[in-house]
Structure formats: C-alpha cells, structure tokens
Structure 1
Amino acid sequence: MMKKLALAAVLFTASGAYATPTTTFWAPSTTGIQPFLTPHITYDTYFWKGPAAGQAGSPVYPVTTGLTMGVLPWDNLQLEVGFDLLLPSSDPFLFNAKLGVPEDKLFPFQPSFAVGIFGVGTKQSTATTLGTDYNLLYAQIQHTIPSVGGYVSVGGYYGLQDKLYQASDGSGTNRAGFMGGFTSPDIPINTPWLQKINVV
C-alpha cells in the first residue's frame, strides 16, 4: 500500500519536463535552416506489430539518429550540414546539406528559398548491387501566409542515382517529383503541458 501511495505522490507532484521540439518534417519540405552553431539532434523510431502478410520481414523503417547544425554566421545566407545514422544497417551513414535565404532578406515580400541535397550515402550502387547513394537534390520556396501566420512551401526533387528510384511495379524510374508543405498558424492551447499545436 505504501508503495502505491509513494508512486501516486510522485506522479501527481512531478513538474513539467522540458525537451527539444519534435521534428516536424521528415522530408525537407520547408526552407527552415538551423541557426549558426545551433545543433538539432534527431531521433526517430518506429514500431510495428510484426511482418505484413506475405512478407519475410517487418516493414518498419530503421531507427534514425542524426545531427544537423548551421555553419554560416550570416543572416542573409544560411547553410546547414548534417548526417543521419540509420540502424540497423551495414552502411548506416547518410549526409545532408541545405543552403538558403530567409524570407524578406533581399526585398519586401520575398519568399524564402533553399536548395540542398540529402541521402548522400557511403555505399555506391553498382550494376549488380544497390548502395545507399540516393543523392537527392531539391529546391524549395516558401512564404508566410499574410495576416494569418503559418506558411506554404512548394518545390521539387531529383534523385541522382537512378538505380535506387525504380518503381516497385517495374514500370521504370521515378526519381523526380513535387515536394510541398503547409503549416497552419499557431493554435494556442495554453496548458502547462501543451502550449500550442499546428496542423501540418
């Protein structure tokens, strides 16, 4: 009985925990860039019940851990570089970089824009073996929704390694396409455990 009372006391008197923000976009469908010397630590993990019907293994994505940091000290031109470590994998490292200009830095009502590359792996694809060299180039423009907040972002991507972008039905290579994003204005919640939400 005393153990139950002690556990209840701890649960009801615990103060709020403070943590880094959750990653909003898994794909770089935003022009946001980490500020100079500000690290962003990534840890994404996925759970699944088990193998899908007719599959030998689990359809779970790998655990992704990474670090991205801004490396330019200027306000008008920003650059971030980073890496992801995908586990379990025999070639787990993928590298990324993004260069961009924030909104309204060059002229009034100028959208922010960014170009980058991600999925730069360490294992090269050959005629007989697939590697991790996805080498996906992308470009994105974005602007805040006037008088409301939130933003709209549009752009595209192109994969440099055609062997890794084959359609699962065998219909050919699919290595280019549209990439977009939308985030609503802040929706205030104002509770001790949740300050706001955004629709993404």
Structure 2
Amino acid sequence: MKKIKREYFILSNKKGSKAKLYLLLSVVINIAIVKVVAATPSTTFWAPSTPYLQPFGVLHITYDSYFTISNMLPMYIGLTSGILPTKEINLEVGFDFLIPQKDITSSLILNTKIGTPEDTLFKGQPGWSFGIFNLGFKKGVNDFNILYFMLGKTMLEDWGAIKYLGTLEFGAYYGLNKELLNNEQFGIMAGWFSYPIDIPIIDKIVLAWDIMTGKNHGFGATGGGIYFFITPSIDLLTGPVYFLSKKSAQSAGAISQLIWTLQLDVDIDLKKK
C-alpha cells in the first residue's frame, strides 16, 4: 500500500534499540516459518495498480497468502525498498519468492519501477510510475516480464467533500511473454483507496479495490478489502479476489474463481537513528 501516510520502525543505537531489533527479527522469522515466501511491487489490493513508490531507505516486507476452504495457492514473501535519494524521481526495487516451487529460479521474481510522487512538482500534480513486475528467470515458467504505467491522484484536504473520494488510480500493462500470457499481452489496471477512517484501538482502516483485466492468464482478476493499520507501519489486508474467467483461475492454480487473501505489510525506515 501506498499513498496513505505512515510511520516506520526505526533502528538506532539508543537504549531500547535491541528490543526494536528483536521485534523486527521476530516478525520476519515468524513470517518465514509459514511455508511460504515473496514480496510484490507496491500494490493496491491484487495488482500493482498504483503509482506509489517506496520512499528512499524504507524497507517494505510483505507476506501474501491466497486461499479457499479447500485450496491454497502459492504464496509470497519478499522485500521492496526505495533506493534513489531524490525528491522529484523515486526508484524502488524488490524481489519475491513464490512458494512452493521446484527450484530457486522458478521461485524468484524481481520487480522495479520509477516515478514521481504526487504534488512533487506542483500542487495537485498526479503521481506517476513506470516499471516491470514478474521478471522471472525460468523460461516458460515465471518470465512473464510485465511492463506497466500508472497514474494516480489523492484528493486534497482543501478540496472540500471531494477529498472523501480518496485516491483514484488508472493505467495499463503489457506483458513481454506472449506464450505465458496466452496471447493476451495488453490490459488495463485501475484502483482506489478510501479516505483513511480513524477507529478506536488501532491506528486506522483504509478500504481498497482494484482490477487487472485479462481472461486468458492468471493475473486477470478484481478484488477489494480492508487495510487494518495496527500501527502506522504495520497493516493487515484481507478481502476476496474474483478471477475474471475460469481460465484465469486455473492459470493461477485456483479451483474456484472466488478466493480470499490475507496479507501482512511491515515498513522499516533504515535511515533514521
């Protein structure tokens, strides 16, 4: 997730930093134990349908699971981070492990994108990004190599009631592997984030929805759910995903067009001390 302002874990040499480090290690280890592994580029819900980029020096850890009562899809754990220390242009890079797979080359996929955050060049400027995801190393298995471009705008606080529309996002993708995408290389992505909703006990909740078109491959789906921000830097996302065709569901390894997702996100600011 993405345009919603959040704080981060801070690693430092001050008193109490060991406890923070132990907490971080505990989160990472417990995620890794769960028989899964891989992180995705910055996403809205199902797809990378957002121009949001990870800020410089902020490490993003993601655990994504997809399932039904009787069927578990391959799951993801991975890392994404912003690596360019400039305001006008941001660059994020990341990697994912898709588990279970036969070998490391079938499991490992990369992602990267470059762009400009909202309101950087002038007030009201939409955010934009261009990148590639599912850049794989196993020919004919995970080398989907999908290029994409996104625009997005969060309604400003001084726009009156319009601000409650939240964030609107729209873009397109083009997959370079014609065979794996079953001749359906081009498609549309769109997404939406609600205005943050403050609730007791936790930090806030944010509603989200997105879609990635396509009926001949496993990426074609839509879904929506709720981000539960336990703290400003940790959130749980859950909700249904609906594949746009039976063929899409089968390509993704699902036995039903309707599945459920549970995702954990943790942000850690590596710059602050």
Shift of 1:109: 1.9
Residue deviations 1:161-188 (CA, integer Å, cap 9, x gap): 011111xxxxxx2121110111111111
1:134 corresponding residue in structure 2: 144
Is 1:159 matched up with 2:171? no
Contact persistence 2:135–2:144 (CA under 8 A): yes
The residue matched to 2:179 in structure 1 has which SS? helix
Q: In the alignment, is residue 123 of structure 1 matched against residue 138 of structure 2?
A: yes
Asked if 1:41 corresponds to 2:61, the answer is: yes
- For 1:38 and 1:198, the matched residues in 2 are separated by 21
- 1: CA distance, partners of 2:122 / 2:57: 26
1:27 matches 2:47: yes
Cα displacement (A) at 1:35: 1.1
Counterpart of 1:7?
Answer: none
Q: Secondary structure in 2 aligned to 1:45?
A: strand
**Do 2:129 and 2:149's aligned partners in 1 also have CA atoms closer than 8 Å?**
yes
Which stretches of structure 1, 4 residues or more, deviate above 4 A after TM superposition? 17-20
Q: TM-score, normalised by structure 1?
A: 0.74
Contact 2:167 2:194 in 1 (8 A): yes
Higher Cα Rg, which structure: 1
Does residue 186 of the first structure (1) align with residue 201 of the second (2)? no
CA contact (8 A) 2:44 2:50 kept: no
Kindly indicate whether structure 1 or structure 2 has the higher relative contact order, using CA contacts under 8 Å at least 6 residues apart: 2
Structure 2 counterparts to residues 71-82 of structure 1, below 5 A: 71-82=83-94
CA distance in 2, matches of 1:188, 1:76: 31
**CA separation in 2, counterparts of 1:108 and 1:37?**
25
**Partners of 2:148 and 2:53 in 1: CA distance:** 14
1:70 alignment counterpart: 82
Aligned residue number for residue 9 of structure 1? none
What amino acid is the match of 2:57? L
> 2:185 maps to what in 1?
175
Compute the displacement of 1:24 (Å).
Answer: 4.7
Match of 1:108 in 2: 123
Partner SS for 1:181: strand
- d(CA) in 1 for partners of 2:86, 2:120: 11
| Alignment RMSD | 2.1
8 Å contact kept, 2:134–2:145: yes
Question: SS in structure 2 opposite 1:83?
Answer: strand
How far has the Cα of 1:25 moved from its partner? 2.8
